[in-house]
Amino acid sequence: MIELKGISKTFPSQKGNQPVKALQNVDLHVAQGEIFGIIGRSGAGKSTLLRLVNGLETPTNGTVRVDGQEISQLAEKELRYARQKIGMIFQHFNLLQSRTVWKNVAFPLEMAKKPKETIRRKVDALLEQVGLSDRAQAYPSQLSGGQKQRVGIARALANDPKVLLCDEATSALDPETTSSILDLLREINRETGITLLLITHEMSVVQAICHRVAVMEGGQIVERGEVKSVFGNPKHSVTKQFVQQTEWMQSSDFPVQSTEKTRFHCSPDEMQDVWAKIGPAVQSGRVKVSVSERELKADGGMTFLIDGKREDVEQLLDSLHEEADLEVNVHV
Amino acid sequence: MFNEIDWATIWQATGETAYMVGISTFFTALFGVPLGILLVVTDTGQIWEKHWVQKAVATVVNIFRAVPFIILVLFLFPLAKFLVGTSLGPTAATIPLIAGAAPFYARIVETALREVDKGVVEAARSMGSTRFQVVVNVLLPEATSALISGLTVTCVTLISFSAMAGVVGGGGLGDAAFRFGFQSFNDGMLVTCGVLLVMMVQLVQWIGDWFSRQLDKR
Ligand SMILES: Nc1ncnc2c1ncn2[C@@H]1O[C@H](COP(=O)(O)OP(=O)(O)OP(=O)(O)O)[C@@H](O)[C@H]1O
Ligand SMILES: [Mg+2]
């Protein structure tokens, strides 16, 4: 259903910056009806890859095919028709603030110049499907994050697309809401056979609903396959990190309850060094470290919570501070 | 000195000011909105990147904004004769008023449209909207509240400009205050005209704020 061949994307240099090689020689094939996940750290090129699929970005090299059509070759008008068959949902929902829930869902149908009666029936049905019929006349500002994403999903499905692209669709939501949104996506996939391509930096999302996964790093796909085999036997260091994170999240109770509790945030660049220090401390059993899923920042950095006896916690923090270039922000 | 207020003159002048401000606000919006849209959509990374259009519009807007209003009045009153057949009276005064306010409002429109979440524009594009549909169905509706409050500011500015234009032959409250108040040593007329101008400003501000608040769904 989605086929990327030999894709490279280089953003030209801007204001003296170096050109950015966002994607390098990427091949990807997503079968019809499949739920395919792409996981990677911030800046890995996930969003760029996704935006190529509906032509929001054009590849520097390579071809993009969706449902047999070569997206990069389409004339403007054909591209618009193709886009109606490729839904997209976003991390920050991107709803129109000036329209009610009902009018937001009607938007893509209006743009496709569908008759009024068709629009009315379709919107009512979609709101029913995502469980928001009673909020039809509310404005987005009056909804919770989960409800907003439901509107986003209903809107993306309005023109009966064959493909649904999800860009960090649950990253702004808390864990419970995340799982209810994922349930909804899985249900839609099962009922309509829609193909889902979703990108995320949370391994739990991939584990929850994806059939296959590709791990991205530095503009390339470094590992791919069935979810169980990729995460069960991680080969690339990035994949291993994702697996480690999740194990810790599962093994320690969150939130950490202690008077000695300490949190610190580290950026993606510091991650490698931080893991190296924390790993042994945790294995010794003297401190407990957890990562709040909510604190997994979109910048790819994350916030850790350390729990344990004061001297143990301090010792670990000292060793973190010793690390050159490592700036640990501690909030006690 | 307060007993010689010529109410007939006052009311006529009030009518002229309302007429000048009303007409010029309407045309200011009519020219300012498309100019503001052009300034935004033709810029780098926007939906209709056209650098030469951007540069051309920005240059014209900047020139008109840089020229002091009183100079515009002196230059454009003669042009008014050509456009509306007279270089005197409130109708003629609308020409420099529009020329002064439209570029000003265009910049306000530009700022308001730039405030619209880029993600929403991208979402609309991803659903297959045309550029025109994005402007009409996303940019303008999402910015309506800011567009209205910007028009309110512009309208208030037009009221004070209209008083200036009045003095050089446009009529209205500014002219009445100058001729029948200041020059005739009639403080009553002067004060009354001033008070009426202040009341007009208040009224416009109040109506504008009300609409802006009604339309703000954030
Ligand atoms: N329009 C653009 N112009 C220049 N560089 C860009 C542009 N869009 C993305 N990039 C660069 O391309 C690289 C990949 O960006 P991309 O947004 O695809 O990453 P991502 O994996 O989605 O990250 P995140 O998890 O933070 O969303 C980054 O280095 C980014 O700075
Ligand atoms: Mg991204």
Q: What is the pLDDT of residue A242?
A: 85
Which atom, in ligand 1's list, is nearest to the CA of A91?
27
Pick from B120, B137, B218: which is nearest to A94 by CB?
A: B120
The residue nearest atom 12 of ligand 1, judged by CA position, is A22
A114, A207: one domain: yes
Q: Which residue of A has its CA nearest to B126?
A: A83
Residues in Cβ contact with A242 at an 8 Å cutoff, skipping those fewer than 6 apart: A39, A203, A215, A231, A234
For residue A290, the 8-state DSSP code is E
Q: Cβ distance A127 to A136 under 8 Å?
A: yes
Structure token digits, residue B202: 């208040």
pLDDT in tens, A108-164: 999 999 999 999 999 999 999 999 999 999 999 999 999 999 999 999 999 999 999
For residue A19, the 8-state DSSP code is P
pLDDT in tens, A264-320: 767 767 777 777 777 777 777 777 777 655 555 556 666 677 777 777 777 777 777
**B2 within a domain of the structure (yes/no):** no
| Of A236, A262, A289, the domain-final residue | A236
Q: Looking at residue A313, which CATH number applies to its domain?
A: 3.30.1370
Q: Ligand 2: distance of its center to the CA of A168 in Å?
A: 7
Decide the pairing of beta strands A195-200 and A163-167.
parallel
Of residues A285 and A186, the one with the higher pLDDT is A186
pLDDT in tens, A26-42: 999 999 999 999 999 88
Domain count, chain B: 1
Whether residue A110 and residue B124 make contact (CB cut-off 8 A), yes or no, is no
Q: Spell out which residues of chain A touch residue B133, defining contact as CB-CB under 8 Å.
A: 111
Of residues A259 and A268, the one with the higher pLDDT is A268
**B132 within a domain of the structure (yes/no):** yes
Ligand nearest to the CA of A24: 1
A32, A71: one domain: yes
Phi, psi of B151 (to 5 degrees): -70, -35
**A7 within a domain of the structure (yes/no):** yes
What's the CA dihedral at A244, A246, A248, A253 to 10 degrees? 180
A95, A228: one domain: yes
Calculate what percentage of chain A has a pLDDT beyond 70: 86
A215, A273: one domain: no
| Of A205, A236, A267, the domain-final residue | A236
Separation CA A135–CA A133 (nearest Å): 6
Residues in Cβ contact with B28 at an 8 Å cutoff, skipping those fewer than 6 apart: B97, B98, B101, B102, B105, B151, B154, B158
**B91 within a domain of the structure (yes/no):** yes
Residues linked to residue A197 through DSSP beta bridges, in sequence order: A36, A165
Nearest partner of A155 among A73, A93, A229, judged by Cα: A93
Decide the pairing of beta strands A35-40 and A195-200.
parallel
Q: Looking at residue A147, which CATH number applies to its domain?
A: 3.40.50.300
**A331 within a domain of the structure (yes/no):** no
Pick from A92, A97, A107: which is nearest to B127 by CB?
A: A107
Q: Average pLDDT of A198-202? A: 92
Q: Average pLDDT of A201-219? A: 93
CB contacts under 8 A, B 130-159 vs A, are 130, 133, 137-138, 141-142, 144
Question: In angstroms, what separates the C-alpha of A47 from chain B's closest C-alpha?
Answer: 13
**A69 within a domain of the structure (yes/no):** yes
Q: What is the pLDDT of residue B212?
A: 94
**A292 within a domain of the structure (yes/no):** yes
**B11 within a domain of the structure (yes/no):** yes
The residue type found at A83 is: R
Q: What is the pLDDT of residue A13?
A: 83
The residue nearest atom 22 of ligand 1, judged by CA position, is A47
A28, A150: one domain: yes
**B1 within a domain of the structure (yes/no):** no
Calculate what percentage of chain B has a pLDDT beyond 90: 70
- Is residue B41 exposed (0-12), middle (13-18) or buried (19+ Cβ within 10 Å)? buried
Residues in Cβ contact with B68 at an 8 Å cutoff, skipping those fewer than 6 apart: none
A136, A269: one domain: no
A76, A164: one domain: yes
Could you count the other beta carbons within 10 Å of the beta carbon of residue B52?
8
**A101 within a domain of the structure (yes/no):** yes
Q: What is the pLDDT of residue B170?
A: 84
| Of A174, A207, A236, the domain-final residue | A236
Q: Average pLDDT of A234-242? A: 88
Could you count the other beta carbons within 10 Å of the beta carbon of residue A207?
14
**B198 within a domain of the structure (yes/no):** yes
A211, A144: one domain: yes
Q: Looking at residue B76, which CATH number applies to its domain?
A: 1.10.3720.10
CB contacts under 8 A, B 197-216 vs A, are 215
Residue A160 sits in which domain range?
2-236
Q: Which of A50, A89, A111, A168 to mutate to test the interface with B (most CBs of B within 10 A)?
A: A111
Whether residue A112 and residue B126 make contact (CB cut-off 8 A), yes or no, is no
Q: Which ranges of B117-215 would DSSP assign to H, the alpha helix?
A: 118-126, 131-134, 140-165, 173-176, 187-215
CA A226 to chain centre: 18
Could you identify the residue written with the tokens 């007009």?
Answer: B200
Calculate what percentage of chain A has a pLDDT beyond 90: 62
**B180 within a domain of the structure (yes/no):** yes
Question: In angstroms, what separates the C-alpha of A292 from chain B's closest C-alpha?
Answer: 27
Residue B15 sits in which domain range?
7-216
**A328 within a domain of the structure (yes/no):** no
**A249 within a domain of the structure (yes/no):** no
Helix, strand and coil in chain A, % to nearest 5 = 45, 25, 30
pLDDT in tens, B37-80: 999 999 988 999 999 999 999 999 999 999 998 888 888 888 88
pLDDT in tens, A78-99: 999 999 999 999 999 999 999 9
Separation CA B201–CA A89 (nearest Å): 45
Q: What is the pLDDT of residue B140?
A: 97
A175: enclosing H helix or E strand = helix A175-192
pLDDT in tens, B163-175: 888 887 888 999 8
**A201 within a domain of the structure (yes/no):** yes
Q: Ligand 2: distance of its center to the CA of A318 in Å?
A: 34
Phi, psi of B50 (to 5 degrees): -150, 95
Q: Is A86 an interface residue toward B (CB < 8 Å)?
A: yes
Domain count, chain A: 2
Q: What is the pLDDT of residue A254?
A: 40
A96, A185: one domain: yes
Q: Spell out which residues of chain B touch residue A163, defining contact as CB-CB under 8 Å.
A: none
> Which residue among A11, A216, A302 is best mutated to probe the pocket of ligand 1, counting the most ligand atoms within 8 A of its Cβ?
A11
A43, A166: one domain: yes
